[in-house]
Amino acid sequence: MGDIKVGYHTITWGRDFDKALTELAEVGYKAFETFGLTEHFDKVDEFKKYLKGKGVELASVYCGGSFIDLDKRDEEIENIVKTAEFIKEMGSDRIILGGGRKKEEGNTEKDYKLFTEAINIIGERAMEIGIKACYHPHWGTMVENREQLTKFLDMTDPEVVFLCPDTAHLKKGGADPFEVFQTYLDRIAYVHFKDIKEGNFMELGEGEIDFPPILKLLTDAGYKGWLVVELDSTTRTPKESAQISKKYLEEVLNLEV
């Protein structure tokens, strides 16, 4: 399964980015996904040197936005495009998108039109840079359930907007992760593996997600790219959680970390 590259998200460490990279490398991960990094946009060579010293590479950066609030929509788009430019300079080729502000009273068709127009614009501009924009369905956004996912994918351009399915967020939103992966294999360009049990996010192998059939779908389809483990929070230490998921990746999924 050498075509699949494995990474781990720094989210579990909160704001302690340096510690996250140190401990991920100690566990044995060679790549990471994270948020932000704007402070490094004009210091690419310096950041590359820093990551080399840590022994890890950048898989991607996760960016969010409201996309329906017109007073900040253009700024959100431009900030994400700048991130895509930075990712390209860092040698990566994927950017992860989340969001679409969920309204308590429910989102209108106009909201979805504004939202998907913005994502299409980002997708087009990212492709011009040489980056694939991958949307991440997420609990608490405008794409949290199966119906909303269908709507989103129908309203976005498959040539420029790709999918980053997250197994646990799909499950939390009432979808069948296997069915989503199977249905949208041709849109998947990045993957998040996360487990879930009784609505709580878990380390891989400690929840309800049946990962082997999902991985087989990907490998049978010739998927080549990133598979990133993400865990928003943990009752253990972040390092312990990373170790548990690494053991599952290697011993159950036979993936090389």
pLDDT tens, 168-181?
Answer: 999 999 999 999 99
pLDDT at 159 over 60: yes
Parallel/antiparallel/unpaired status of strands 200-202 and 94-99? unpaired
Q: In the predicted model, what is the mean pLDDT of residues 112-117?
A: 98
Residue 235: both structure tokens together: 């009752």
**By percentage, how much of the chain surpasses pLDDT 70?**
99
pLDDT tens, 4-54?
Answer: 999 999 999 999 999 999 999 999 999 999 999 999 999 999 999 999 999
Q: In the predicted model, what is the mean pLDDT of residues 236-247?
A: 98
The fold for domain 4-251 equals: TIM Barrel (3.20.20)
pLDDT at 1 over 50: no
pLDDT at 191 over 90: yes
The CA distance from 244 to 65, in Å, is 32
Which helix (H) or strand (E) element contains residue 87?
helix 70-89
For 44, 77, 80, 109, the CA distances from 85, given in Å and listed in that order, are 11, 13, 9, 31
pLDDT tens, 200-233?
Answer: 999 999 999 999 999 999 999 999 999 999 999 9
- Tell me what pLDDT residue 123 has: 98
For 89, 91, 189, 200, 225, the CA distances from 179, given in Å and listed in that order, are 35, 32, 16, 21, 20
What is the average pLDDT score of the chain? 97
Instruction: Supply the pTM of this predicted model.
Output: 0.96
- Tell me what pLDDT residue 2 has: 56
Residue 106: both structure tokens together: 């429910």
